Structure 1
Amino acid sequence: MPKKRFLGKPATPGKVYGAPGAGYSGFISFMTAVVLIALWFLVTTMGWVKPIFMPSPYAVFNKFIEAWTEGVANSTLLQHTMASLGRVMGGFLLAMATAIPIGVLMGVNRITRGIFDPIIEFYRPLPPLAYLPLVIIWFGIGEFPKVFLIYLAIFAPMAIAARSGVRSVSIEQIHAAYAMGASSRQIITHVILKAAMPEIFTGMRIGIGVGWTTLVAAEMVASSRGLGFMVLNAAQYLASDTVIMGILVIGFFALIFDLLLRHLEKVLIPWKGKV
């Protein structure tokens, strides 16, 4: 019998020649985190850095337990976390409800693009601290200015991503849909929006990250609770263990939201990278 020249399953497209960036990187990410934590233990245990500049992991963990049970800055960690989550999610959901439709309209309508493009491009590079005083003058020092500041920071990248996704749709797909009798509304809903969804989700991921980075600035305004407020309050007293604990909590929730959006992207946009 002639020997079989081909054994096993056919090779997955891209694996024969090695597609750039292909492969699972989760283990590498895990080992990177392990090495960084080990270095943190080593540096603090050996006393190479003073605790006021770099507290040990034990001190940060003890501060986490204290903040969770007894509280810090007149509130427990759960209360600080819930206050910040409400502000970030409020700004994010408000941006989703407005930035994505406006971004899509900017991509399909020149009048809408002409109105919103200069406004977005003007304020997008500005740091939130630059227009924070104006937000305070306009809306006072209540809860709404904090959410509004986060909303403004998220709005620009989300709208630009939606517009970019619409503008990247292949003209051949649009012509093919017209040739099969599709109306303008069907073109937008069934062709343009579906093709733009990957970039819209990318904008959402960028937006939620920007929202968390803006949180500290938003909670500078007459706040009594919040993770950003907790970090700022601890910094005034040089409580570096509380500062690092707050940073880790903020980073944890930012990572969780990003992973959630990645999962939703895989579920809702299975055609990404395949068309």
Structure 2
Amino acid sequence: MKTIKKLTIGTWIFIILAWYLITKSNIVESVLVPSPYEVWTTFLDILKGGYNGISLISHLGISFKRLFIASLVAIITSIPLGLLSGYFSKVRAIVDSIIQFYRPLPPLAYYTLLILWLGIDDESKIALLFLAAFAPVYISCVSAVTKINQDYILSAESLGASQKRIFLHIVLPACLPEIFTGIRTAIGVAYTTLVASEMVAATSGIGWMVIDASRYLKSDVMFVGIIIMGITGILIDLVLKFLEEKLVYWKSYV
């Protein structure tokens, strides 16, 4: 593990060093690729004075509010529906084709429709993130149920276990590892869709900050926003991995 950590740290040291050398040697203009020092000072300025009159914490809070509400609703609805679809073929026949139809669609393709239906406020943005997060969790649930060893279910039925007990004590625990993988994927997908949701009719949010900075060629602000999104994305994933280790403690023994 120490070697792996050293390799990870070494990789990022190399990236930052290469970034510094490229900007120091003026291979590219600073308007295209700002130096690490410029990005750092811009971050301190935004941290102190905010961006567009809104503090950095507020930008992050607005984006995370949209992200977490959409992800939570998607998880709450997609898990039971996915498990039911995996367990009952008739439910899957009704639901699966709908999910498979909209899943590959680019978010911006139907975002304008959501704006027409729900308005330009947070409702349309949350709906877009919800749709982005729903499909990965649903698919992981269906996949997890279909992979369950049927001998376990048949053995439980032969011992007189009810469908409720089979679901709670066999199906759900067996599916949890793959469900968590789906949740991690879903939140990642929703986070990448966040920028798209804040491109239209928004005046705040970390994604909007990057888009607004791009209009005025403020590459230093863009770098700050992108780096913040990357770091916060890693932190969110680490929290999910921690929860998975605590709740699905038997995963390492399977």
Q: Structure 2 length as normaliser, TM-score?
A: 0.96
SS in 2 for 1:25: helix
CA deviation digits over 1:142-201, x for unaligned, max 9?
111111100000000111111111111111111222233211111111101100001100
Counterpart of 2:42 (choices 60, 63, 71) is 63
Counterpart in the other structure of 1:142 = 121
Q: Residue 249 of structure 1 aligns to which amino acid in structure 2?
A: I
Q: Distance in 2 between matches of 1:240 and 1:70?
A: 18
**1:186 and 2:165 are equivalent in the alignment:** yes
Paired residues of 1:73 and 1:233 also in contact (CA < 8 A):
no
User: Which of 4, 9, 15 in structure 2 is aligned with 1:36?
Assistant: 15
Shift in alpha-carbon separation, 1:64–1:39, aligned structure 2, 3 A:
same
Deviations for 1:7-40, whole angstroms, at most 9, x for unmatched residues? xxxxxxxxxxxxxxx9973332222111111111
Q: Write the mapping of 1:199-238 to structure 2, written as runs, cut at 5 A.
A: 199-238=178-217
Corresponding position: 1:171 with 2:150:
yes
The counterpart of 2:77, out of the listed 75, 98, 122, is 98
> CA offsets per residue over residues 126-151 of structure 1, 9 Å max, x none?
11011111111111111111111000
Pair 1:77–1:23, CA change in 2 (3 A): closer
1:53 is aligned to: 32
Does 1:110 pair with 2:89?
Answer: yes
Letter in 2 for 1:77: L
Bigger Rg, structure 1 or 2: 1
Q: Distance in 1 between matches of 2:162 and 2:74?
A: 29
Amino acid paired to 1:183: S
CA RMSD of aligned residues (A): 1.4
* Runs of at least 5 residues in structure 2 that lack an aligned partner in the other structure: none
Say yes or no: does 1:257 pair with 2:250: no
Partners of 1:30 and 1:147 lie apart in 2 by 36
1:267 aligns with 246
Describe the superposition over 1:185-229 as per-residue Cα deviations: whole angstroms up to 9, x where unpaired: 111111011000011000000001001100011012211110111
Distance verdict in 2 for CA 1:94–1:246, change over 3 Å: same
The structure where helix makes up a greater share of residues is 2
1:88 and 2:67 equivalent?
yes
What percent of counterpart residues are identical? 41
Residues 223 and 259 (structure 1 numbering): CA distance in 2 closer, same or farther, change over 3 Å? Answer: same
Alignment gaps of 5+ in structure 1: 1-21
